[in-house]
Amino acid sequence: MEKENIIRPSLLSADFSFLNDEIEDMIRHNIKSIHFDVMDGSFVSQISFGQPIFKSIYNRFKNRINFDVHLMTLNPIKQVKQFIDIGSRDITFHYEVFDNYQDYISLKNEYPDLKLGLAFSPDTEVEKILPSLPLFDNVLVMSVVPGKGGQPYIEGSERKVRKLNEYRKERNLNFKIIVDGGINEKTGPLCLQNGADYLVCGSYYFKAADKDKAIDDIYNNFVKVQHGNY
């Protein structure tokens, strides 16, 4: 497990007036992937950013850093092609608006290199999403109510991570487990310990005065937990 690879900063907490500098800074800190939160004002009440901003930053940085797109929109199937056309190959949809498997199967057939993610909100029981998982490459456990950065981690979210990890082993599935919301030096290690592969980090990462230390703290606390002395 490479420590910089675990953390996926959510651009939502960046300073948008310095977007270029913020991304250059992530690259300097060896971050491998940026989480791009798209909010439509309907699925969640906030509006964040969409295709035009994604296009600009994707085209500028695509050879130096990866992007994953988290669609918090009411009808994501309407937007997905637009993100694919720009170049995105890692897109996550919400279970709560997921209605037609065939759409996702067709996408997979049309774009075999597309990584499909399934996100689920805190009110959705983890058991509900399990049958859909063979279709997906990633599952995004929302550990806050979707809609904004800076909220506290919902305690017990790690139990969902554990359940997913057990299910993945039992069924011999390969999806990755990503946790999104309220991740810091305490909640991050807890999720990793329970089987998470990646952590989306907004405010904790962007507010850190020392970003290397912020990344190290998550990783080192996880290692301590593994050795039973944290």
Q: How far apart are CA 162 and CA 192, in angstroms?
A: 9
Using the 8-state DSSP alphabet, how is residue 168 labeled?
H
Question: H helices within 87-156, ranges in order?
Answer: 101-110, 126-129
CB of 199 to Zn ion, least distance (A): 11
Q: Which is nearer to ligand DX5, 77 or 147 (CB)?
A: 147
- Closest residue to ligand DX5, based on beta-carbon distance: 202
By the rule CB under 6 A, 50 interacts with ligand DX5: no
Chain positions 96 to 125 lying near ligand DX5, rule: CB under 6 A, are: none
**Nearer to ligand DX5 among residue 171 and residue 207 (C-beta):** 207
Q: How far apart are CA 31 and CA 80, in angstroms?
A: 25
Q: Cα separation of 67 and 39, whole Å?
A: 16
CA–CA gap between residue 223 and residue 219 (Å, rounded):
6
Residue selected from 12, 65, 114, 191 as contacting ligand DX5 according to rule CB under 6 A: 12
| Of 41 and 134, CB closest to ligand DX5 | 41
Please tell me whether residue 76 binds ligand DX5 under the rule CB under 6 A.
Answer: no
Structure tokens, 94 = 């919400």
Told to check if 200 binds ligand DX5 by CB under 6 A, we report yes
What whole-number distance in Å separates Cα of residue 139 and Cα of residue 120? 8
Chain residues in the site for ligand DX5 (CB under 6 A): 10, 12-13, 35, 37, 70, 72, 144, 146-147, 149-151, 180-183, 200-204
